[in-house]
Amino acid sequence: MAKPITPEKRVIKARTLIQKARQIPAPSSVGWEHFSYTAQVKDTLRQAFELVKLINHSPSTPEEVKADARAVIEEIAAAEKEILKPSK
């Protein structure tokens, strides 16, 4: 049986995944490569969200960790808008 990850480690791992999503190279064309790029970014950010989404509902988690989790959720939304914004 796998060991559970502590909430603090979940926050750190989620922030690492956000960084990973920002480092995915953007395609130069707007064809299937762009579709694949968008899917990779969204999947990476979804993984980050899945790590922290339930931290706020845990009664044993300290309040500062819950605040970090809320901040990470906001960072995920901001990163998705920033990374996938339409190019002009």
What is the SS3 string spanning 12-77?
HHHHHHHHHHHCCCCCCCCCHHHHHHHHHHHHHHHHHHHHHCCHHHCCCCCHHHHHHHHHHHHHHH
Structure tokens at 82: 């920033």
CA distance 68 to 7: 10
Name the residue ranges covered by the structural domains of the chain. 7-20+31-83
Q: How confident is the model at residue 87 (pLDDT cuts 50, 70, 90)?
A: low
* pLDDT confidence of residue 4: 85
pLDDT at 88 over 70: no
Length of the chain: 88
Specify the pLDDT at position 41: 95
pLDDT greater at residue 1 or residue 79: 79
Condensed to tens digits (0 to 9), the pLDDT of residues 19-67 reads 999 999 988 877 777 889 999 999 999 999 999 999 999 999 999 999 9
* The predicted structure's pLDDT at residue 74: 97
CA 38/CA 24 separation, integer angstroms: 10
